[in-house]
Amino acid sequence: DGGITQSPKYLFRKEGQNVTLSCEQNLNHDAMYWYRQDPGQGLRLIYYSQIVNDFQKGDIAEGYSVSREKKESFPLTVTSAQKNPTAFYLCASSTANYGYTFGSGTRLTVV
């Protein structure tokens, strides 16, 4: 089945620690995105990539980093510089003129 897989489903981060969220797609989509969702809120764009080896900052990129070494993969690292990382993180991919396909999300909690 084609789709997007995010892992892990739940992630706990200690203060000062970097953590990496995985996002893999087998849809052959060129574009991939990372969004952050806070309780009762809409989605805010962190980073996006429209082609391999290229990515751009979204609206709230500070404290996050990404890489796009393969078309299928777009991991997100939440660094210690992100002071309020507790949130629900959603990865998506798209192809032109169609809607986005989303993964099932990773819930990150600071402990």
Q: Distance between CA atoms of 65 and 52, rounded to whole angstroms?
A: 15
Q: Distance between CA atoms of 62 and 79, rounded to whole angstroms?
A: 9
Instruction: Read off the tokens for 65.
Output: 């980093």
Interface with other proteins by CB under 8 A: which range of 11-19, 63-71, 72-80, 97-105? 97-105
Q: Which of 1, 2, 84, 99 binds other proteins (CB under 8 A)?
A: 99
Nearer to other proteins, 17 or 95 (CB): 95
Q: Which of 21, 32, 87, 92 binds other proteins (CB under 8 A)?
A: 92
Q: Which of 11, 45, 61, 110 binds other proteins (CB under 8 A)?
A: 45
Residue 77 backbone phi and psi in degrees, to 5? -105, 125
Q: Distance between CA atoms of 62 and 45, rounded to whole angstroms?
A: 11
Q: Which of 49, 90, 93, 108 binds other proteins (CB under 8 A)?
A: 90
